[in-house]
Every structure is written in C-alpha cells, then in structure tokens.
C-alpha cells in the first residue's frame, strides 16, 4: 500500500550491558515506556556481575536478563562470542553499555560496528581512557581544579572512551564539591542525556541508514 509504514519493522531491539547499580538502565527503561525513546524496545539485559542491582531493575520491568560469568570461559573472545549469540537470539540492533565494566573485544566491536554506545561520566576527551571509571573520574576532575564536568555519550571503538562523541552535557563544579557530590550531579545529567542521545541516534542515524 502506498505510503504505508510498517512501524514494527522500524522498531529497534536494544540490548543493555551492565555491571552495577543500573540507574542509567532505569532511565532508559522509563524513556522507552514514556515515549521519550521511540521505535525501540529493550529486548534484553546482560550483566557480568551476579549481584548487579541493574538485574533487579530489568526483572522488575519484565525484561529478559542474563548473568554471564567470565570465569566460565577460557578467554575474553569466547565470552564475547557467547554474548554475541545471545544478542543475535534477540535480534539485537543496538547495544548500550550502561556501567558495563568490561572491555569489548574486537570480535564484538566488528559484529556491532557503529552500533555500540556508552555513557562516560566526564566531558570526553578529558578524563577518559583505561582505569578512568567510577569515583576515579570525579576525583581526577576535582584534582585538576576544573570548574565544570559532565557526561558524554559516544560510540564504542577499540580506543577506550575514544569513539565519536554523540552528545555531551555539563555541570558546574562548586568550590566545596566532593567527588561524591560531583558524581551525583553528573549522574542526574546522565539520566537525561543518555535517553536523548539514544533516541536521536535511532531516529537520525539508524532509521535513515535503514540499519
């Protein structure tokens, strides 16, 4: 039929990879449920940590969850191959890292080239790279006497925190801010920025390229 659009064909299946608390996952779930992220569905959540609260958040939202322990595999590549099989099982179009504390191997990167996004709690390229995660980032920002920090959504490539920047949001740093206070401020921004960036990515890049 002319002009007919099959919206279910446009719907992208998202897989979220987590290791921790899951507040960004929660923001993403809410954004899908309230229509801030359109044409998408969170199809599965995978954690490498059994105790990750993110798994509880996903279960409460009735999203299929998988805890996959690294020590069941002989290598990082074998681990990622197992993950890739799971992603294929759920017809995954887009992978979102949300506090996932593992490095993605080249085999995984190649399978989802330009379709893996991450959120990092600083204004990249500053305060990114190997070892820069969690409170270490915020402490380094404070040590540098910067007057602002923020968060960055970027494509994931072999260079840690070095992929193309899709979106950023900044926060001001007050003279007496502790690393914990700064982390909380940045996290609040992350919860707004990640859903926005994901929606933008799907609607402007994925749907236009028909990926």
* Cβ density class 195-208: b for 16+ within 10 Å, e for less: bbbbbebbbeebee
Q: Do the beta carbons of residue 28 and residue 191 sit within 8 Å?
A: no
Residue of 121, 150, 163, 195 interacting with ligand GRF (CB under 6 A)? 121
Please say if 138 is a catalytic residue: no
Kindly tell me which residue out of 14, 24, 57, 105 binds ligand GRF, with binding defined by CB under 6 A: 24
Q: Which stretch binds ligand GRF (CB under 6 A): 4-12, 16-24, 74-82, 86-94?
A: 16-24
DSSP label at residue 203: I
Q: Does 22 bind ligand GRF (CB under 6 A)?
A: yes
Which one of 120, 154, 164, 191 is the catalytic residue?
120
Q: Site for ligand GRF (CB under 6 A): which residue of 23, 114, 139, 146?
A: 23
- What does DSSP assign to residue 131? T
How many helices (H) and strands (E) the chain has is answered by 7, 7
Q: Identify which range of 5-13, 14-22, 68-76, 154-162 contacts ligand GRF by CB under 6 A.
A: 14-22
Residue 168 is a binding residue for ligand GRF (CB under 6 A): no
Taking a C-beta distance cutoff of 8 angstroms, is the pair 49, 19 a contact? yes
Nearer to ligand GRF, 105 or 118 (CB): 118
Give whole-number Cα distances, 202 to 44, 78, 198, in Å: 17, 29, 6
Which residues lie near ligand GRF (CB under 6 A)?
A: 20-25, 54, 98-99, 119-121, 151, 187, 190
């Amino acid at each position: 039929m002319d002009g007919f659009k099959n919206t279910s064909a446009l719907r992208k299946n998202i897989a979220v990879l987590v290791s921790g608390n899951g507040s960004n996952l929660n923001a993403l779930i809410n954004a899908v449920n309230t229509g801030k992220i359109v044409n998408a569905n969170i199809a599965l959540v995978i954690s490498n940590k059994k105790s990750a609260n993110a798994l509880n958040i996903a279960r409460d939202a009735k999203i299929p969850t998988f805890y996959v322990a690294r020590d069941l595999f002989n290598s990082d590549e074998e681990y990622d191959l197992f993950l890739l099989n799971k992603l294929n099982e759920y017809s995954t179009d887009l992978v979102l890292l949300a506090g996932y504390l593992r490095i993605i191997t080249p085999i995984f990167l190649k399978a989802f080239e330009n379709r893996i996004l991450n959120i990092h709690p600083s204004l990249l390229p500053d305060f990114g790279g190997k070892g820069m995660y969690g409170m270490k980032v915020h402490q380094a920002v404070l040590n540098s006497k910067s007057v602002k920090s923020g968060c960055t959504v970027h494509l994931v490539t072999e260079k840690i925190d070095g992929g193309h920047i899709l979106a950023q949001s900044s926060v001001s740093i007050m003279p007496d801010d502790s690393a914990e206070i700064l982390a909380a401020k940045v996290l609040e921004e992350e919860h707004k920025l990640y859903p926005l960036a994901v929606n933008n990515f799907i609607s402007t890049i994925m749907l236009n390229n028909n990926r």
